[in-house]
Structures are given as structure tokens and as C-alpha cells.
Structure 1
Amino acid sequence: MKFLTLIFIFFLSLKADVILSPQSLPNNIKDFLQKNFKAQIGLAQRDDNTYEIALSDGTELEFDIMGEWKEIEARGTTISYEVLPPNIASILKNEFKNTTIKELERKINYYKVKFYNNLEVIIDFNGAILRREFDD
């Protein structure tokens, strides 16, 4: 019975997040962070198929195994429009002038954008706004 418990714990540990040094992150993640964020990396970890990064300003990011960002969440700071493709950034800047980005999610064929005024927008990769609503 103890042996089975040890094997179970061993396999659970294989699924656990692995803490990484910032230098050991893939180059495309390091380049993305350096280009778009001023804060330092506070914590970097990797599990089976994602990298999770916490910056010193409270911003949290999730990247897929290829190093492409999946989610970005700012805490007390704003997310630059520069992380989005130029056509999407331009549409959002023009359509929603008086607010700033708090959270971004990249899905298979659209972006989910949450602004600091609690407006949530779904915009597809072609720039069509599919939904806009205030999140309570």
C-alpha cells in the first residue's frame, strides 16, 4: 500500500509546475516581455503545455508551449495595445477611446478584451466586433 501511495505521489509530482529562471524562458517569450512590459519577471513556471509568468508590477501572463501569449491580466497597470495585431489595436483604440485594457485572452479565432471600465469586447481576427457588454 505504501508503494502504491509513493507511485501515486511520484506521478502527481510529474504534473506539478516547474519553477524556471527568467533566463531559461524561450527567447520569443523573453523578447515579447522585454518589448511590451517594463516590469521585471517575478516568477516564471512551466507545466505540461503552458508557461505562466508573474511580473513585479502584478501583471500575469500565460503562454502556450510554443511561446505565444494566451492570456494577459494587468493588476493596477494597463496592457499596451501593441501586444495586439495593428489592425485589431487600431479598431479598439478608435472604438473605445476613453478606457484602457485590463485583460486580454487570445482564443482560436477571436480576442476577448476587458477594459478597466468593465466593458468586455469579443473581436475576431479580422476586426469584426462580435460582442460588447458590461461585466458586472
Structure 2
Amino acid sequence: MKKLIMAILLIMATASAAHAAFDKYTIDRSNLPQAAQDILQEYFPKAKVSMIKIDKHLLKKTDYDVKLVNGTKIEFNNAGKWTSVDCKTREVPQGLIMKPIRNYLKKNFNDEKVVKIEKKSWGYELELSDGVELKFNLLGQFKSMSMDD
């Protein structure tokens, strides 16, 4: 039994060490897929990159985590499409929010700004500047609301 536990621990430690070896850090935008470079150029043209983490997974595709000097964090998938944009206290660029969601926000939360948006398999999750979290389906239809505690 002890040998089995030791073997499992050894395998886990080896896998963790190997996983860390796949990560790469840079500040060079050219290491990103072209689609990610285009998004940065269009929506964050003056922002400077403080770090790009290229996260290669053993069984999954590569993810890219970009941190800008102003604190904004953007996550991209292997194809260079954004999966998460966290602008902290700044507003997420309107062009990253689909039109039906923008229309809903204008009608119901006109005084608040979107500070974070995440693209999930089931739809979109947004965080507003007042701490309200909103969920929308893939078509941009409102699904639910919750308050940040």
C-alpha cells in the first residue's frame, strides 16, 4: 500500500513539474495568435503589455493570459479569441460586448459600466461596476442576476 501511495505521489509530482515546464512568459505580442494581436490592437491600442503567459497544457490546447500595465487581464484561447476580459475598475470596450447585451444594459443598467466579461460554454457572465453579476445565454438573452457579496 505504501508503494502504491508513493508511486501516485511521484507521478503527481512529475506531472506538476512537467506542466510548469510548458509555461512560457514574454512581453512580445508577436507570440500571440493573430486574432489575439488584432483584438489588442483594436481595443487596447495604447496599452502596454506587462506580461504574456503562454500556458501549454498536456491534453488541452494552448491558452494565453495577457496582463496590461494598467492592470487589465485578458485571456485568449488557442485560436486567439478572448475568453475573459477583466478591466478591474475600467470599462470593458463596448465592441467586445455583443449588441443584444449592450441593448439590455443600456435599458436596465445605463448608469453602470461593465468591468469584467467572461465567455463560457453556456453564454456570457458580466460584472458591473456596482458589483452586480449578470448572466446571458449565447444569443445575448438575459438569464439571471446576482449581487457580489
> TM-score, normalised on structure 2?
0.78
Identical amino acids, percent of aligned pairs: 23
Is the 8 Å Cα contact of residues 43 and 55 (structure 1) preserved in structure 2?
A: yes
Alignment of 1:28-43 (within 5 A): 28-37=35-44, 38-43=46-51
2:135 and 2:20 mapped to 1: Cα distance?
A: 37
What's the offset of the Cα at 1:14? Answer: 2.8
| Number of corresponding residues | 130
- Name structure 2 gaps, 5 residues minimum: 1-9, 57-61
Q: For residues 29 and 140 of structure 2, what CA distance do their matches in structure 1 show?
A: 34
- 1:44 aligned residue: 52
Deviation digits for residues 7-41 of structure 1, max 9, x if unmatched? Answer: 938624434x2013222211110110111123111
Q: What is the root-mean-square deviation of aligned Cα atoms in Å?
A: 2.0
Residue 86 (structure 1) aligned to one of 96, 99, 107: 99
Aligned 8 A contact 1:58 1:76 in 2: no
Query: Which runs of 5 or more residues in structure 1 are unaligned?
Result: none
Deviations 1:45-71 (A, max 9, x none): 111221000011100011111111111
Measure the CA separation in 2 of the matches of 1:10 and 1:115: 38
Give 1 or 2 for the bigger CA radius of gyration. Answer: 2
Length-normalised TM-score, structure 1: 0.84
Runs of 4+ in 1 over 6 A off after TM superposition: none
How many angstroms apart in 1 are the aligned matches of 2:84 and 2:39? Answer: 13
Counterpart in 2 of 1:134? 147
Three-state SS of the structure 1 residue aligned to 2:139 is: coil
